[in-house]
Amino acid sequence: MMLRYLRAATAILLALVALGPAHASNGQKLRIGTTLHPYFSFVSNIVGDRAEVTPLIDAGFNPHNYTPRPQDMKRATTLDVLVVNGIGHDEFAFHIIEAAGMQQKLRLIYANDGVALIPLAGAGGDVKLVNPHTFVAIAAAVQQVYTIARTLGEMDPPNAAYYRENARTYTTRLRRMKAEYMAQLADVDVSRFSCATMHDAYGYLMQEFGLRVAAVIEPRHGVQPTARQLADTIDRIKAANVHVLFAEKYFASKLSDSIRSATGVEIYSFSHISDGPYTADKFEQEMRENLQTLVQAVRAAAKQ
């Protein structure tokens, strides 16, 4: 009888260990990790002071070429749940989870579940790639906020209604911000607007404003086009009567200057929302700047 009891107790203990860190059901606050700056903003606005929100990696690192560090593994072991992009923009997170031995212990929230994804421009071969930059837009951000809030509510039932209400308040602000800038383009015929972008980070934003992207310069983010690719792109820009090139803020390059010299396009800069400190209002602040830039560029192009 005692042996049977010890075996049962051991099995229960192993099952509890396999669950990883304790969830909010034991009265403690959920410990929520985020991989990207926008997700930190989303989650912070959803949970308020009823959960702990922690970036998986420190500020100041480029997620596109990030190499995991020991402190990242340690941080991963303290989390109950991690909010991830999961479609190509935070592959570093999965390396961290594996290195920390948390594959079966850390619950993941795939923020893009339910988002209508755009095929990646220029993607070739048999592998179907999608544009992972769903967070540089309003409509897709709203969908992600609700996905995150719903899942957190399932993990933390006592606070589920609170999370839903906060998500509703936050997304209402986002929708009103978008409406404000769409109204500023109400008198502009955007059907003739055509732009180029340095890379494909702004596809979702352009789509929801009904704007056409005639060319994407970089075949992948940070990958320089070949001389032939660049020549073909310049030809497309000229043929499509493109007047605007959107580049990434803080990352002006000789390449964009060369394109401006060859085509006469005006260059405007968007934030990728992937740099600087993690704050609850970062997404709103930088998306407002992006929308201001977008309106300025479209109105200026309409006068040409």
Confidence at residue 74, expressed as pLDDT on a 0 to 100 scale: 97
Q: Which residues, listed in sequence order, are joined to residue 248 by a DSSP beta bridge?
A: 270
Q: How far apart are the first and last CA of the chain?
A: 88
What pTM value is reported for the model? 0.86
Domains contained in the chain, number: 2
d(CA 25, CA 157): 8
User: Does the residue 7 lie in any domain?
Assistant: no
Give yes or no for a contact between 63 and 35, defined as CB atoms under 8 angstroms apart. Answer: yes
Secondary element (H or E) of residue 167: helix 160-183
Residues 269 and 128 in one domain: no
- The CATH number that applies at residue 50 is 3.40.50.1980
Residues 143 and 205 occupy one common structural domain: no
- Tell which of 160, 180, 200 closes a domain: 180
* Residue 13 CB neighbour total at 10 angstroms: 10
Last residue of one domain, picked from the residues 180, 210, 233: 180
- Same domain for 196 and 130: no
**How far is 22 from 28, CA to CA, in rounded Å?**
8
CB-facing half-sphere around the CA of 156: CA atoms within 13 A: 27
Q: Are residues 247 and 295 in the same domain?
A: yes
Domain end among 161, 180, 199 = 180
Domain shared by 89 and 216, yes or no = no
Same domain (yes/no): 190, 109: no
Nearest alpha carbon to residue 252 among 266, 231, 269, 227:
269
List average pLDDT for each run of 10 residues in the chain, which is 304 residues long.
35 38 67 98 98 96 85 97 96 96 97 93 63 96 98 98 98 98 96 88 94 82 73 85 85 73 89 94 98 97 88
Looking at the structure, tell me whether residues 73 and 33 fall in a common domain: yes
- Same-domain check for residues 31 and 171: yes
Judge if 30 and 174 occupy the same domain.
yes
Residue 8 lies in a domain: no
Q: Which domain holds residue 210?
A: 185-302
Indicate whether 172 and 242 sit together in one domain. Answer: no
Residue 10 within any structural domain of the chain: no
Q: Are residues 70 and 152 in the same domain?
A: yes
Task: Answer yes or no: do 35 and 103 share one domain.
Answer: yes
